[in-house]
Structure 1
């Protein structure tokens, strides 16, 4: 069938739409038996993507696809031989999965349904304007890039939780917490996590979930941040018309966490009436949506956390004793940061590496006196405060002494550390000690490299070489 009228009607005089927001690392395969359409799309897409290939039939396209993976395939439906919808290899290959945009000039509802069933990511009618095609490609590529980012993040989380320590730190108390997490994670038992605000209670809850082997989601809920009158609906869901404004039925967070873990943060803030309903759910392992007469079975692991003393709350009548014992199968107590100062250097370096990448800024070099002073600070906000401090350092490009308490505690701690002759933290590698020492001496001489080199007992050339190497390494990391 003649396809010339379709391409002739396409507005090819419009200036190509070029977006700089998408990665050129995306690869695209164009499949169309009409040379004019192929050339038109190749010219437009080559300006945006590093690899753009084309084919005039499914057979040729499949040969190309076997040699090279493509993130996106733009394919005409009506082709000689096999049609685009019949290209099952491209839509069922999980190892070389591609997003597919189908094109056709003979679309009807049945064709659209077939395309969606065949795994189409988008569907475009010919003739089309270039902006329409680019908008469809944008949607596919954004999903593709987001999937890649999610894969990387998940892999990083799995690396942390599967091979290393579940909780970051070298202190004995954190090693004990880590050991308990790994021991109880595979069990279905409820866990109550206690600790001051900012001690990493949600991180511990996530570690329990990641090591549990459960296939469902980790769903965090801040019980103190949800209004009491809607908390029941948020947790258990509701039916249509259950209350004013309930225009349609909605599943609750227990349902979203099915097969996974529900993290009830700040459980001590939950109203007493809601505590009774939660206790019933935990005992029956079923939820009753608001407005419904039927209960729905659930398979959810409960992890709760609080910065309150729940035993005192029970004595004062603000927390149900029976719910406390139901949640307190095992209590995990996270120590404040001031009780484990030996973990601070490890946390600082971890935050610095991660935040530098996120912010696109170089990390701030810290001397051993700086680190000793930071370790000597009480950190009333615990890990959360320390993380914010490291982020502030990176944003300012220096150590923000003025953010500490009055009296310049950090400077005092630095002077004390220097006077006592305390060395570098034992967690530092030798090259890291050398780098920080050289930068400290260079700072003392106000950047005078010749004077710093004489003080260090090395040549000016050696100093320049080391500084250049560090700058290059820092540039590649950022």
Structure 2
């Protein structure tokens, strides 16, 4: 074969491989002996396997199947049987359970079976979510007493949300990420006459559309091969509350189906022909202004009007900074208990910086900063600048980090000689600044070195050079 022909075949082969790795379905092909010859990236992700664990190995040496099931790939290879939309549950080489919906096709050459290929869609996450919800996960634990804050902004929202407990009207909770939307949703449920009913929460952005539809509305036996009669979240939440988080992430087709359920109070399982009545209060969360969501085609206008019968707007933390000291105290006590520590509070300059910072991650960001800082502490009682996560030290711009221009001018002007050589002036300033930071940190060399961005040895060298006691 000519060199150009070989190069062309290699080029085409590379193209095929790249295309297979880009498609959003698993592709697994075996040769006539049952050894894997094609195994794409999506299949690796679905089965949590590396290609070297599977490629050129016999399928049955790698995967284990349940007693009452056989591999659809092997069946296609042995019997020449094509299967469509067959559910298959099996185990990878680490014993992890995997569930897929498969289309399997035998490959013929001159009338003889030379291999088989399987195209698979992953439903492992859906199966686990179904089982988890049916086992009672998602029980609420928060009430309005759990909401920390005394500022007028948060008290007004709490009172508005409390009024929503008197009825079963749908509720739309609007707030930025990290403001505590689910906390309010659980508090509304716990304050209503649906308290004894289930509370089920689902993040709509966490799953692809084909899985979220099955999860919400359930499936009917025979909807696809292997499908069972499985209640969806609406049926599981019957008599209680269903929280749909990030409702604006649903596609418009699913939003239309959801609107029908809200209006008619009935659901139809996938593959079913009859409607089932449901008594569910839906609370939806959205992390953008609903007017913007409608304008940007993230949310249907009619769904917004239906859900927004009661709308609760949670203010971001930057609009209720008076609550920061209370929240800080709450989180410090929470992690004192969890980490068996005895932290008393914030250093004065850290507290000032917390009040100046805008907290775009809101209450959740504040909690994460407190938790991270306490992980950096030993036996200290106050959270200082050096304990904060590195990325926040730059953001918060603590006063302790720099001497103001006015102080530099004062330092220069107090020297009698105007024309001091630059090197000498810099040494005088360096000495003054190191002494300043040492004093702020009670002469703790390790803490001062960390604050100055130096090693302990480097700081000690500079102190000796500059005659700092």
**1:218 counterpart = 2:199:** yes
Aligned partner of residue 282 in structure 2, secondary structure: strand
1:329 maps to what in 2? 309
**Structure 1 residues 328 and 250: alpha-carbon distance in aligned structure 2, compared to 1, 3 A threshold:** same
Structure-to-structure mapping, 1:158-237, within 5 angstroms: 160-161=143-144, 164=145, 167-214=147-194, 215-237=196-218
Cross-structure match for 2:323: 343
1:269 paired to 2:266: no
Q: With structure 1 as the length reference, what TM-score do the two structures score?
A: 0.51
1:308 matched residue in structure 2: 288
Count of aligned positions: 267
Distance 2:368 2:297 in 1: 36
Alpha carbons of structure 1 residues 413 and 202: separation in structure 2 relative to 1, 3 Å = farther
Aligned equivalent of 2:442? 445
Does residue 406 in structure 1 map to residue 387 in structure 2? Answer: no
Contact 1:221–1:265 (CA under 8 A) maintained in structure 2:
yes
1:13-412 equivalent positions in 2, closer than 5 A: 157=141, 160-161=143-144, 164=145, 167-214=147-194, 215-246=196-227, 248-363=228-343, 365-397=345-377, 398=383, 399-400=387-388, 402-404=390-392, 406=394, 409-411=397-399
- Partners of 1:364 and 1:393 within 8 A in 2: no
- Render the CA deviation track for 1:129-182: whole Å, top value 9, x for unaligned: xxxxxxxxxxxxxxxxxxxxx9xx98xx57x53xx3x53111101000110111
User: How far apart are the structure 2 equivalents of 1:381 and 1:336?
Assistant: 9
Give the match's secondary structure for 1:305: strand
More strand by share: 2
- Contact persistence 2:246–2:286 (CA under 8 A): yes
Any unmatched runs of 5+ in structure 1?
1-149, 420-441, 448-478
Give the match's secondary structure for 2:398: helix
Q: 1:361 to 1:250 in 2, by over 3 A?
A: farther
Distance 1:173 1:407, change over 3 A: closer
Shift of 1:319: 2.4
Deviation at 1:195, TM superposition (A): 1.4
RMSD over aligned Cα atoms: 3.0
| 8 A contact 1:404–1:410 mirrored in 2 | no
SS at match of 1:302: strand
Contact 1:199 1:337 in 2 (8 A): yes
Secondary structure, aligned partner of 1:290:
coil
- Using the size of structure 2 for normalisation, the TM-score is 0.52
Runs of 4+ in 1 over 4 A off after TM superposition: 412-416
Q: Does the CA-based 8 Å contact 2:175-2:315 persist in structure 1? A: yes
Structure 2 residues not aligned, in runs of 5+: 1-135, 378-382, 408-438, 445-469
SS at match of 2:312: strand
Question: Residue 320 and residue 445 in structure 1: after superposition, are their counterparts in 2 closer, same or farther (change >3 A)?
Answer: closer
